[in-house]
Amino acid sequence: MKPNILAYKALPDDVLAYLREHADVVTLDDAALSPGTLAAALKDADGAIGASVKVTPAMLEGATRLKALSTISVGVDQFDVDDLTRRGILLAHTPDVLTESTADTVFALILASARRVVELADWVRAGQWQKSVGEAQFGVEVQGKTLGIVGLGRIGGALARRAALGFDMRVLYTNRHPNEAAERAYGAKRVELAELLGAADFVCLQVPLTAETRHLIGAAELKAMKPGAILINTSRGAIVDEAALIEALRHGTILGAGLDVFEREPLAADSPLLTMKNVVALPHIGSATRETRHAMARCAAENLVAALAGTLTRNIVNREVLKRP
């Protein structure tokens, strides 16, 4: 008998067709999704695929058939992984396929913030370009500066490559373990967070959101940055204490910020961040190219089909589940 799969995010037609070859598929409209409807639909599912929705332990209470969850993301902060493991539910994610497009977004934010691309494009649109530009419109250089990567893993590595080989930047990073490949290939130097904050012209956050990394960057860390430095966050909003960031930007503690992620998403239209010229705010588009989003959906669908067949060997978040009798 085919397993039951619940898709709680819209999928490309060919990916849905692939799932239907292997399973009976129920789709939920993600625009109208509430925790209650998702919990009710999970009761009949052997597996589920989706993204961008918090899946809490309470929502899984009735999901007695559920064997696998497949998230269309690399980040797994929408799940209580320990709880899934206790329940014997395997969690799969989509690393690697989104690494390059996300590193591009980081670099787009570095360049946009340093060269004031969004602010000055708005200035031209508003008809303010009436003579050749002067100091008031100058940005800061990127080439040859120091980049600090907080969390040099897959995306951090792709960022280090762009910075070291493309922009002749010095790369500093923090990690719990050394990333020897990045040290060899890009001259990346592992330092303590305090040293990175004090030396970097651009501080890029690329750690996963966990209990340990929540509010990793608060008032004290922002104060430890150079006054001319720019903070880039394309990881998860809650890694930064957003209220402290707003204060730091208001008082000129740092030069600017390029943000793809926020503590609350979508970002409220009345957020003080949107009134600041030295902030570039994006709507969580780290991996959002047509090609990458398609590859992520396909990868997550293949992960789920293989997980339900008992043949998945990669992209597994809680491998401990496989060791259970």
**In the complex, minimum distance from the CB of residue 132 to ligand NAP, in angstroms, rounded to a whole number:** 37
Between residues 139 and 208, which has the closer beta carbon with respect to ligand NAP?
208
Q: How many residues does the chain have?
A: 325
Compare residues 12 and 95 and give the one whose CB is closer to ligand NAP.
95
Binders of ligand NAP among 35-94, rule CB under 6 A? 74-75
Specify whether 215 is catalytic: no
Q: Which of 33, 43, 83, 95 binds ligand NAP (CB under 6 A)?
A: 95
Asked if 237 is part of the footprint of ligand NAP (rule: CB under 6 A), the reply reads: no
Any residues with CB less than 8 A from the CB of 276 and at least 6 apart, and which?
249, 250
Distance of closest approach, residue 95 Cβ to ligand NAP, in angstroms: 5
Query: For ligand NAP, which stretch binds (CB under 6 A), given 6-14, 16-24, 125-133, 145-153?
Result: 145-153
321 touches ligand NAP by CB under 6 A: no
Active site residue 236: yes
- Nearest residue to 149 via CA among 261, 28, 34, 231: 231
Alpha carbon distance 317, 94 (integer Å): 10
Binding of ligand NAP by 284 (CB under 6 A): yes
CA distance 142 to 145: 6
Of the candidate residues 210, 268, 275, 283, the single one contacting ligand NAP (CB under 6 A): 210
Q: Which of 236, 242, 293, 298 is catalytic?
A: 236
Contact pattern for ligand NAP over residues 102 through 131, marking x by CB under 6 A = x-----------------------------
Q: Tell me, yes or no, if 176 is annotated catalytic.
A: no
- Find the shortest distance in angstroms from Cβ 200 to ligand NAP: 16
Member of 36, 126, 135, 176 binding ligand NAP (CB under 6 A): 176
Gap between the Cα atoms of 218 and 200, Å rounded: 17
Give the CB-nearest residue to ligand NAP: 153
Residues with a catalytic annotation lie at: 236, 265, 284
List contacts with ligand NAP (CB under 6 A).
Answer: 74-75, 95, 98, 102, 151-156, 175-177, 206-210, 212-213, 234-236, 260-261, 284, 286-287
